Amino acid sequence: MKRRVTTVLAAVAAGTLLAGCSGGGPGADGGKISNDKIVLGVLTDLSGVYADLAGPHSVDAVKMAVDDFRKKYGDKAVSQDIEVVQADHQNKPEVANTQAREMYERKKVDALFDVPTSSAALAVQTVAGQQHKLYFNTGAATTELAGKTCNPYTYEWAYDAYMLAHGTGTAVTEQGGKRWYTLYPDYAFGQDMQAKFSSAIKAAGGTVVGKDPTPFPSDNFSTFLLKAKAAKPTPDVLGALQAGGDLANVVKQYQQFKLKDAGIKLAIGLLFDTDIKAIGADKLTGTMFTTAWFWSLDDQARAWADRFKERTGQRPTFVQAADYSAATHYLEAVQKAGTDKAEEVSKQLDGQQFSDFFAHNATIRKSDHRVVHDAYLARVKDPSKATESGDYTELVQTIPADQAFDKPSSACHLS
């Protein structure tokens, strides 16, 4: 298998390398910042099914955080050199493992960000623990990262399968969708989603009458959809637990095979604006979903999203917004610690309470490094009510931080 070569963004022209500044900063003596440089790595899907929801624009989000850090601190920044590097994990855990080692060891990355695809994220988490380097997950949903596989070097910043399931699974079941048939991708993300949705559905008084693991990635779900349509008893709900390009294919084929006409409503486990655009808002109008954030949530979110659009030409997904948030908090922690040593940076992060444009009422739990924050039950807006292109989402209900995420897992031991 040919592996793609890690792309290094020298970032001088783009302004993400803090060079040419003079004076101050705790790291100005060169003694506290390793290699006299802070290196942020974005390990993502640059060309596959998750490239739109993360991908190149996740790199842009981290670069934007670096630029804003430079503007804030100038020559008082903890380091005068900050570099951003990127790599493509191709949604394969073995590639993610190799790329993470390459970035930590050869590129001297201090902290990694993003990593959609749960199997890839679990591989990166292992490497981060071995290398004693920080990893901020924003793209993967598996709860194992803050559960049985947790380590002191991994932070879960944006969302997880519990948040998604106990928002959408609970709400749809309580509204009458008692019998579910679920389709889930057959890898760590889908398996965790299936387990968490089943638990939430049962707790709300529903049942899962059928479930099928599906290949990942895939463009043909016809066999599984026809099986769900023919199931007895007839399900009330088809739970599509895919994401990105796979989700778009499921939804299009759900419509093609007329499951709605058979009385089977659609529920989606994880939905991004990029998915709504690919599928068509008119085809998803009224569909409920749970999200960590959306760009039109409030004035603060919109202001940041406007800046992001000016830079990239597109509105951000919540993964990209989380990348900016995580990178900003990492850099602020380095600034406070006066060093990029992972253990010292973690001391600044652990237990921190904050509210920023992305995470409201947030706490970085010291016990498992799960960032707990408000989440949102939302629905796809009728296109006739959209105020501009890309205005897809309307808020149904805010889920308070202490309800949005599960309690710390007894399987996680960081000390």
Give, as one character, the DSSP assignment of residue 106: I
Tell me the pLDDT tens digit for each residue of 37-76.
999 999 999 999 999 999 999 999 999 999 999 999 999 9
pLDDT at 117: 96
Mean pLDDT of 235-239: 98
pLDDT at 268 over 90: yes
Report CA dihedral (166, 172, 173, 176) to the nearest 10 degrees: 160
What pTM was computed for the model?
Answer: 0.92
Residue 249 placed within a domain = yes
Please state the domain count of the chain.
2
Residue 30 in this model has a pLDDT that exceeds 70: no
Query: What is residue 156's predicted lDDT score, i.e. its pLDDT?
Result: 98
pLDDT tens, position by position, 356-408: 999 999 999 999 999 999 999 999 999 999 999 999 999 999 999 999 999 99
Q: Over 60: is that where the pLDDT of 28 sits?
A: no
Kindly report, residue by residue over 183-193, the tens digit of the pLDDT: 999 999 999 99
Residue 272 lies in a domain: yes
pLDDT at 20: 31
Please indicate, yes or no, if residue 409 is contained in any of the structural domains. Answer: no
> Tell me, what CATH number does 179's domain have?
3.40.50.2300
Q: Assess whether 229 and 98 both reside in one domain.
A: no
Average pLDDT estimate for 257-266:
97
- Tell me the torsion sign for CA atoms 216, 219, 225, 226: negative
Q: State whether 19 and 75 are in the same domain.
A: yes
The answer to whether residue 413 sits within a structural domain is no
pLDDT band per the 50, 70, 90 thresholds, residue 241: very high
**Which residues neighbour 330 within 8 Å (Cβ) at sequence distance 6 or greater?**
40, 111, 134, 136, 345, 349
Whether 137 contacts 121, CB under 8 Å: yes
Give the pLDDT band (50/70/90) at residue 19: very low
Q: Are residues 47 and 192 in the same domain?
A: no
Task: Mark whether 249 and 397 lie in a shared domain.
Answer: yes
Which residues, in sequence order, are bridge partners of residue 401? none
- Res 29 pLDDT > 50: no
Does a structural domain hold residue 273?
Answer: yes
Q: Are residues 367 and 382 in the same domain?
A: no
pLDDT above 70 for 5: no
Burial 198-232 (b: 16+ CB within 10 A, else e): bbbbeebebebbbbbbbebbbeebeebbeebbeee
57 and 155 fall within a common domain: yes
Flag whether pLDDT at 2 surpasses 80. no
Taking the alpha carbons at both ends of the chain, their separation in whole angstroms is 38
Whether pLDDT at 18 is above 50 = no
Same domain, 393 and 274: yes
Is residue 411 assigned to a domain? no
Q: What is the mean pLDDT of the chain?
A: 93
Please state, in angstroms and as integers, the Cα–Cα distance from residue 317 to each residue in 41, 143, 174, 183, 294, following that order: 19, 20, 28, 24, 7
163-219 pLDDT, tens per residue?
Answer: 999 999 999 999 999 999 999 999 999 999 999 999 999 999 999 999 999 999 999
Q: 169 with 273, same domain? A: yes
In terms of DSSP H, where are the helices of 176-289?
188-203, 222-230, 244-256, 273-279, 281-284
- What is the reported pLDDT for 415? 81
Q: Is the pLDDT of residue 333 over 90?
A: yes
The reply to whether 191 falls in a domain is yes
Pair 252, 384 in one domain: yes
Which residues form the domain of 347?
Answer: 7-159+297-372
Given a contact cutoff of 8 angstroms between Cβ atoms, the answer to whether 181 and 209 are in contact is yes
67 domain residue, yes or no: yes
- Place 11 in a pLDDT band, splitting at 50, 70 and 90: very low
Strands 82-88 and 375-380: unpaired
Q: Which amino acid is at 77?
A: A
Taking the C-alpha atoms of residue 394 and residue 2, their distance in angstroms, rounded to an integer, is: 43
Alpha helices (runs of H) in 204-263, residue ranges in sequence order = 222-230, 244-256
Do 267 and 199 lie in one domain? The reply is yes
